[in-house]
Structure 1
Amino acid sequence: MLATALLAGCGAPDLAGEAASPAPAVPASVSPATPGTALTPEATPSPEATATPGSALSATPDETGAAEPSTENNAADVAFARQMIPHHLQALEMARLAQTRAGDPWVGEFAAKVATARDTDIRTLKDWLDMWGAEPLPRDHAMPGTQTRAEIEALAKLRGPSFDRKYVTLMIEHDNGAIKLARAEQAGGAFGGAKALAVATATSLGAEVKELKKYRALLD
């Protein structure tokens, strides 16, 4: 196969190198609060453990309670959760197509990691919407980076190298759209958990885009 030969000659993207493999965007220590339960300082990641340069994660509250993340939500938080669920569901749909249609094992493995990460985030976001009395947007609601139903159906008809190229191209667009939604939450959200998830989403999906672009360069 084209992808296999290219990978043999050039090497697949270094999954342990500069771009991390798809990982759940929700930090383990920022699990959603159950309905009626406020986030506690213990649920906030410590800066030593998770903060990176430019991170929007708050510092761990000190004894005076400074920098405690907000447990209040606003319209931006609700919009973020309502949009990200159908956005991630489309990524899951494309990942499942890759399980039976990808020609290169790398594409199938990448898609499997995407599916695991998105499923984790969807559960978190749904818990928040339940707590706020809101529902996700419809599955095919147009958002930054999402594909039309016709594009998904066209992808489903492909196999092997042609599927791999199209899947990678669509996922780059899809991830960049999700990053835009995450940055909007970082700028306008109030709920500490959602803002932390937005930071993690932008970081992890940015790493995915780097991996996908590196792989696509091998196909050109």
Structure 2
Amino acid sequence: MHGFLRTTRRARRGRIALASAAAAVLLLAACGDAGDDASHGARHGAGPSATATTGGSGTASGGFNDADVTFAQQMIPHHRQALEMARLAERRSSDPEIRKLAGQIEVAQDPEIEILRSWLKAWGKPESPGSGTEHGATGHGNMDHGGGHGASGMMSADEMSRLEKAEGADADREFARLMIRHHEGAVAMAEEERRNGRHTKAKALAAAVVKGQSAEIVRMKRFLDSR
């Protein structure tokens, strides 16, 4: 009994230490600038998002311009659709590599949505261009899949339906093919923010998106080449 209690206490201390370390990483990364490579891995593919600490963590990083606003407004629905795709893959995929990648996408992008929303709120800008209301829910039935999103790699309703119906190895390949295009759209938007944006933290997030999602594109292409 005593041995069991000691093991339980050690496990609890380990979880507390891990949570404390993660919190420290988030805090440091949220304070970084566009050249902080340490935050890139934390945001994409290697742990919790570096932007997840507080809703206002990036609002005091200098001024902002129209490019920053456009980046945030476009990236929110883009991330939301990526989360939906990742959750479908976690349920439908048969390959551990695809399920792992889907989980990493969730860990990285879900908190980033909140920080993007916090920036827009601090800037006095709506989440959706031309609207004073917040963007709709994550379900693809509530998202605009029109031609306006095509250039950013957004999936159509038909493509999302196809992914939702796929199973096993078919789901693995479909997810990889669609997410490659989706990531390519995100990288293009992030590169534009890096060129034209002004807000320090927004440009840092854009740099993280370029680095993290470019690496994930390589992983997915290798996966498809091996099948």
- Residues in 2 aligned to 1:189 and 1:46: alpha-carbon distance in whole angstroms: 11
Unaligned runs of 5+ in 1: 1-25, 32-42, 53-68
| Cα displacement (A) at 1:140 | 2.3
Cα shift readout 1:90-131 (whole Å, capped 9, x = no counterpart):
000001111211011221111011111110211111110111
Q: Answer yes or no: is 1:140 the counterpart of 2:144.
A: yes
The Cα offsets for residues 155-205 of structure 1, whole Å up to 9 and x where unpaired, read as 101100111101000010000100000011011101111011111110111
Check 1:46–1:84 CA distance in 2 against 1; reply closer, same or farther (3 A cut).
closer
TM-score for the superposition, normalised by structure 2? 0.67
- Residue of structure 2 equivalent to 1:13: none
Contact map agreement 2:34 2:200 (CA 8 A) in 1: no
How far residue 136 of structure 1 moved from its aligned partner, in angstroms, is 2.4
Structure 1 residue 90 and structure 2 residue 91: aligned? no
Task: Report matched runs for 1:207-218 at 5 Å.
Answer: 207-218=215-226
CA-atom RMSD, angstroms? 2.4
Q: Is the 8 A contact 1:179 1:201 kept in 2?
A: yes
Q: Tell me, what secondary structure is at the counterpart of 2:226?
A: helix
How far apart, CA to CA, are the structure 2 residues paired with 1:112 and 1:193?
25
Partner of 1:196: 204
Specify whether residues 191 and 98 from structure 1 end up closer, same or farther in structure 2 by C-alpha distance, changes over 3 A only.
same
Task: Tell me the number of residue pairs that the alignment of Structure 1 and Structure 2 aligns.
Answer: 167
Choose from 82, 98, 101 the match for 1:107: 98
Hey, what does 2:32 align to over in structure 1? 44
Supply the AA of the counterpart residue of 1:180.
A
The normalised TM-score by structure 1 is: 0.69
1:179 equivalenced with 2:187 (yes/no): yes
In structure 2, how many angstroms separate the alpha carbons of the residues matched to 1:165 and 1:125? 30
Question: Which structure shows the bigger proportion of residues in helix conformation?
Answer: 2
Q: Structure 2, unaligned stretches of length 5 or more?
A: 1-24, 41-59, 129-134, 136-142
Partner of 1:29: 28
Higher RCO (C-alpha 8 Å, min separation 6): 1
Contact 2:71 2:190 in 1 (8 A): yes
Aligned to 1:205: 213
Q: Is the 8 A contact 1:86 1:136 kept in 2?
A: no
Alignment identity in percent? 37
Counterparts in 2 of 1:192 and 1:27: CA distance versus 1, 3 Å: farther
2:64 pairs with one of 69, 73, 86: 73
Letter in 2 for 1:29: L
| Paired AA for residue 102 in structure 1 | S
C-alpha contact (below 8 Å) 1:91/1:114 kept by paired residues: yes
Distance in 2 of aligned mates of 1:191 and 1:116: 24
Whole-angstrom distance in 2 between the partners of 1:164 and 1:211: 13
